[in-house]
Amino acid sequence: MDSMTPPPMPSEYLEGLQRLTKDLKDAARTLSEREVRYLVDIYYQQQRDRIRSAHQLRTLSQGAEPHVIMQWVGGQRELFEREVAKSLDAFSGGRVAGRWARSIVGIGPIIAAGLLAHIDIKQAPTVGHIWRFAGLDPTLKWSKGTKRPWNGALKRLCWLIGQSFTKVSNHERDVYGKIYKARKEQEMARNEAGLFREQAAASLAAKKFGEDTQARKAYEAGMLPPARIHLRAQRYAVKLFLAHLHHVMYEVEFGEPPPKPYILSQPGHAHYIAPPNWPMR
């Protein structure tokens, strides 16, 4: 055996690890929201570190340098990541709202756990409270030297959700990815009609852009650049998903449907879209 290869684990150690894993999975159902928020952060941090380490390992392999230890470290990272994922899987799967979220194509156990840990339905009588907390209220401004008016971790989760909905938009059971695509087409049509001219002028005045950038050319033409249209459509889909999540969490907590979302009670937004897969069978 190579002297740099870690020795195999004794069988009694493996049996103990299996028992510990089962105990941790059972205990995960009683994790506090604060603990889950920490684990979600650790999971994504570990995932980023693992990806970076894998890239470093490939680089070392090209130079024919010894990397057995690097391989072992990478394996430990993957093991740790899997165990954290199992705990978050047990947490989100043990709650009705978590199971509903996971029934949505594009939402997995980790994101579901993060949402449940960050959103306190008792502090959110309407979905507007969640949108503001997640940084999805365009009226909120963060002034320099002041406290950030939204939760950065939840905002990142919502960005990940938007990315996921985009990726699954061609899935046969997808809901919100198709909403993203339909909204994007609508936003593009409005953009080409010059309906965002004021926003384009404001953006051009507020920030400097390179002479040859696509963004500057679009703003000077009185339009929003494609990347911004893409993000607007993603946010629309995410906000609708959060409205549905709020509906589910509210009904589970209080035994009755919540007030209709603000966006749906305004002129031009009278069409109500009920949460998919709810009530759950």
pLDDT, one tens digit per residue, over 127-154 is 999 999 999 998 888 888 899 999 999 9
Tokens of 235: 């946010």
13, 80, 148, 183 from 276: Cα distances, Å: 45, 34, 33, 18
pLDDT of residue 1: 40
pLDDT of residue 138: 87
DSSP-assigned letters across all residues of 72-112 = HHHHHHHHHHHHHHHHHHHHHHTSHHHHHHHTSTT--HHHH
Average pLDDT score over the chain:
86
pLDDT of residue 227: 96
pLDDT of residue 270: 56
| Secondary-structure breakdown of the chain: helix, strand, coil percentages, each rounded to the nearest 5 | 65, 0, 35
Higher pLDDT, 270 or 234: 234
The pLDDT tens digits for 50-86 are 888 777 777 766 655 545 666 777 777 888 888 889 9
| Whole-number percent of the chain with pLDDT over 90 | 63
Do residues 87 and 31 touch, judged by C-beta distance below 8 A? Answer: yes
**CA pair distance 5, 278, nearest whole angstrom:** 51
Which of 17-31, 123-137, 235-249 is predicted least confidently?
Answer: 17-31
pLDDT of residue 248: 97
**CA pair distance 170, 182, nearest whole angstrom:** 12
Mean pLDDT of 22-48: 85
Tokens of 190: 């409005």
Highest mean pLDDT of the ranges 18-27, 29-38, 39-48, 246-255: 246-255
> What length is written for the chain?
281
- CB proximity list for 142: less than 8 A, separation 6 or greater: 148, 149, 150
Mean pLDDT of 164-190: 97
DSSP helix/strand/coil, 103: coil
List own/partner pairs for 189-196 with CB under 8 A and 24 or more apart. 191/223, 191/224, 191/229, 192/223, 194/222, 194/223, 196/222, 196/223, 196/224
Q: Quick one: 198 exposed, middle or buried, by C-beta within 10 A (0-12, 13-18, 19+)? A: exposed
> What φ, ψ does residue 231 adopt, rounded to 5°?
-70, -35
**CA pair distance 187, 200, nearest whole angstrom:** 14
17, 43, 105, 273 from 102: Cα distances, Å: 28, 18, 7, 19
Within the chain, what is the greatest distance between any pair of CA atoms?
Answer: 73
Mean pLDDT of 3-21: 48
pLDDT of residue 221: 96
Mean pLDDT of 79-97: 92
Q: Where residue 20 falls among pLDDT bands split at 50, 70, 90?
A: very low
Residue 277 reports pLDDT greater than 80: yes
Highest mean pLDDT of the ranges 3-7, 9-13, 44-48, 94-98: 94-98
The candidate with the shortest Cα–Cα distance to 30, out of 79, 95, 80, is: 95
pLDDT of residue 5: 44
Q: What's the predicted TM-score (pTM) here?
A: 0.85
pLDDT of residue 11: 55
Do residues 237 and 179 touch, judged by C-beta distance below 8 A? Answer: yes
DSSP helix/strand/coil, 63: coil
**CA pair distance 222, 190, nearest whole angstrom:** 12
Q: Which residue is associated with the tokens 């002034």?
A: 143
Q: Where residue 266 falls among pLDDT bands split at 50, 70, 90?
A: low
The total of other beta-carbon atoms located within 10 Å of residue 253's CB is 15
Report the run of H or E that residue 201 belongs to, with start and end. helix 197-206
Which of 6-20, 48-62, 202-216 is predicted least confidently?
Answer: 6-20
Mean pLDDT of 11-38: 70
Residue 167 reports pLDDT greater than 90: yes
116: left (phi over 0), alpha (psi -120 to 50) or beta: alpha
Amino acid letter, residue 269? H
